[in-house]
Amino acid sequence: MFAHNSHGNHAFVSWQPLEREGLTVLSRRNMLKAGFAGVGGLSLTDLLKARELASASGKPLGNKSVILLWMTGGPSHIDTWDPKPDRPYNNRGPFHTIDTSVPGISICEHLPKQAAMMDQFTLLRAVDCKSSNHEPNQVMQTAARNAEPRLNPKGDRYPAIGSIIAKYRGANHPAMPPYVVFQKARGHVAWSGHLGKAYDPFEGNKAAVLPELDLVGKPLGRNSGADVFRMPGGLSQDRLANRRLLNEDLDRLRRGLDQSGTMDALDSYGRQAFEMVIGGRAQQAFDLTREDPAVRERYGSHLWCQQALLARRLVESGVSFVTIDLSYHTASGTWDTHGDNIPPYGGITKGLGPLLPLFDHLLTTLVGDLRERGLLDDVLVIAMGEFGRTPNMGTQDSVDGRNHWPEVMSACLAGGGLRHGQVIGSSTQDGGEIKDRPVTPCDLAATIYRHMGVPLDQTYEDDRNRPTFVLEEPGVPLPELF
């Protein structure tokens, strides 16, 4: 009864707590079912899945956090951070390159703002993304090569890096969820797997008023409604508090029904949900109307930029890990630039081209804002996707599209108090293979875990109660950064 669903309903919808059974007007079972529904009956579905907010050790670890800008679909490394300007057109692509503020580093011409701030970024040009796929996007977000549900029936059981941090470190403030995602589709982000629902991400889309776009990025002229924090008419905070007392009475009746520990988890969810509803901290963090209008204007009105601003507000308020799904459509992702003849993907010119100035603005505005607020040393910003793209253009009947390429990809890092203004690793002359200094998914995860204070030898239990290391294979924090 507690299996994952589409997260469109709360975890207890199958109990049908408001339906009468047979001729019974109000039975003990009805009361128990209503108690299970708790504040879920108030349309606060995701609050019932509020995360375990305290770390297992209970030790304060500062305000370290991570913002992952997930370029859903797999951006072309050659046409972004690893250009090959001296190669033939079919390999180098349609874009020119520009020098950056760091001598010897050049990037795509459509990233001029990042080029000007390159001393604050590190480019990883030799990321080993073998086995990574999408729909669902698991390997790079879990650091487990076996987390590929298309090939491995248990591939979805590997927990997201964000879920590991939620369990073994927790949020930076007890009234905030530790792991938040802004997603276009469930398959675009990794979930808690073996760790259990308590460490699933909190779905930020449902907690904020944001502009809605169609599958190709066209504004629909309406906003989302922030339904998570909305209480039905006539229900005040006092009445909610009274309902909480009723739920606690019901809890005492039903505690003996569950010997597996599920009831304790539900109690935890209910308490956290209640505090998030009436405590105000989470609501305020998700409320963009509380932001300085000048800052909102600086970020811009685009959905992704508004989500980036929310990410800054969330880590500032105590969230430990935020993932932004940078995609318009629900399929493989907007960065999956196979070619012009396969809308809405587009190729390099018509697909990737319009994305890069927007991404350039989003990335540099976020990093600049974090720096100005004195947060950048605590917040590690990562931008990447599932894999790179083929060295040669022209796939699937397109003129300039590039296909999936899990042999090598590029990623970008900023903040975290790390040493930046550098490139780590390189690809071969045509960008088709790793040339030197490979970075594995576990190396990247180890870097994140070190930043967040999660021991690299930490384990969790799988479905057979066997200890499993959070790093599937050996991983080393990138020494160049520390």
pLDDT band at 61 (very low <50, low <70, confident <90, very high): low
Using the predicted structure, report yes or no on whether residue 269 has a pLDDT greater than 80.
Answer: no
359/365 Cα distance (integer angstroms): 10
- CATH code of the domain containing 444: 3.40.720.10
**pLDDT in the model for residue 279:** 61
Give mean pLDDT, residues 277-285.
Answer: 79
Count the domains in the chain: 1
pLDDT, averaged across the chain = 83
Residue 457 lies in a domain: yes
| Residue partners of 69: CB distance under 8 A and separation at least 6 | 308, 324, 326, 359, 362, 363, 366, 381, 382, 383, 384
| Residue partners of 148: CB distance under 8 A and separation at least 6 | 131, 132, 133, 138, 139, 155
pLDDT band at 49 (very low <50, low <70, confident <90, very high): very low
Torsion angle of the four alpha carbons 165, 170, 175, 179, in this order, in degrees rounded to the nearest 10? 10
pLDDT band at 463 (very low <50, low <70, confident <90, very high): confident
Query: For 377-433, how does the pLDDT look when each residue is reduced to its tens digit (9 = 90+)?
Result: 999 999 999 999 999 998 777 888 999 999 999 999 999 999 999 999 999 999 999
Residue 446 lies in a domain: yes
pLDDT band at 53 (very low <50, low <70, confident <90, very high): very low
Q: What is the 3-state secondary structure (H, E, C) of 182-211?
A: ECCCHHHCCCCHHHCHHHCCEEHHHHCCCE
**pLDDT in the model for residue 399:** 82
Q: What kind and span of H or E run contains 115? A: helix 112-116
Angle between helices 353-372 and 303-317 (to 10 degrees): 30
Query: For 308-357, how does the pLDDT look when each residue is reduced to its tens digit (9 = 90+)?
Result: 999 999 999 999 999 999 999 999 999 999 987 776 678 999 999 999 99
Of 59-73, 79-93, 231-245, 337-351, the poorest mean pLDDT is in: 231-245
Residue 44 lies in a domain: no
165/13 Cα distance (integer angstroms): 28
150/406 Cα distance (integer angstroms): 15
Torsion angle of the four alpha carbons 305, 306, 307, 310, in this order, in degrees rounded to the nearest 10? 130
96/94 Cα distance (integer angstroms): 7
Quick one: how far is CA 419 from the chain centroid? Answer: 24
Residue 39 lies in a domain: no
Residue 294 lies in a domain: yes
Top mean pLDDT of 205-214, 242-251, 277-286 is at: 205-214
pLDDT band at 78 (very low <50, low <70, confident <90, very high): very high
**Domain membership of residue 85 as a residue range:** 62-232+281-481
**pLDDT in the model for residue 254:** 53
The pair phi, psi for residue 276, each rounded to 5°, is -70, -35
The residue behind tokens 């009361």 is 31
**pLDDT in the model for residue 102:** 98
**pLDDT in the model for residue 448:** 98
**pLDDT in the model for residue 233:** 58
Q: Is the peptide bond before 344 cis (omega within 30 degrees of 0)?
A: yes
Query: For 287-307, how does the pLDDT look when each residue is reduced to its tens digit (9 = 90+)?
Result: 999 999 999 999 999 999 999
Residue 443 lies in a domain: yes
